Homo-oligomer: A and B are copies of this chain.
């Protein structure tokens, strides 16, 4: 009888150990439910508001992992797709491939995105700390806002992580809630730069009519002390590269030295004057040309 019991335990162990093999080898890993996603987003919001230093998105980690091999069902492997986006090989895309929704959910919420962002910011800080400043207070650093200074992950988690076509109505309604959360890595850079004497300048594709809510959202998320918040005039027609390059040119013409420039889109950091050094944060959810 004891042996039979042992057998049962062993069988359970076998089964258990197989099921603990992780997302890596299995196809039936499920994303957290929509409800779990909302809870995660709420947690993210709360923690960001509390300015907790601990990694915000880790709550979901045990559930998910960040397997490089998820999302291979037909078509381009999702991790190769993501790399192609980050290295600017994939351009002018409208939506994330539908089969990559699970993969991207894991990536964005499972800690992988945060780790990748942290490495970029560590590089940026090392670079900034190595600069010899002129001491005249003319050095500035350009920050994009969406998916750079503020994260709209609570929105995108409810909208397929970029697999749904961009909907300006619902996205703008979300922006007007002012509930975006800080990307803690970028905020760390922002604060470090101020302590070094480099002035942050926000340069965003958000429009002038969103100024008040954007300021409120930034302050609520722990940003303060920026030199400038440059928003796009309502109805202004130009590519992101043309618009942002033009604004950087104006900064230079006014005597400022752009020592750094950070954004999640290549259109944030391409186009002269780019800034002395550029940094590309990950963003596999959408493309702005």
**Interface residues in chain A, defined as those with a beta carbon under 8 Å from any beta carbon in chain B:** 3, 6-7, 10-11, 13-14, 17-18, 20-22, 24-25, 65-69, 76-77, 79-81, 83-84, 86-90, 112, 115-116, 118-120, 122-124, 278-280, 282
Residues in B whose Cβ lies below 8 Å from that of A66 = 68-69
Partner of A280 from B13, B65, B89, B116 at Cβ < 8 Å? B89
| Secondary structure call for the A interface | helix
CB distance from A269 to the nearest CB of B (A): 9
Q: A3-B3, A67-B68, A115-B80 are in contact. Are A21 and B10 (CB under 8 A)?
A: no
22 contacts between A and B (CB under 8 A): A3-B3, A7-B7, A13-B14, A17-B17, A17-B21, A22-B22, A24-B24, A65-B69, A66-B68, A67-B67, A68-B68, A68-B112, A76-B119, A80-B119, A84-B116, A84-B123, A86-B86, A87-B120, A89-B119, A89-B120, A89-B124, A90-B123
Are B25 and A280 interface neighbours, CB within 8 A? no
Please, which residue of chain B has its CB at the minimum distance from the CB of A277?
B91
CB distance from A1 to the nearest CB of B (A): 11
Partner of A118 from B80, B88, B280 at Cβ < 8 Å? B80
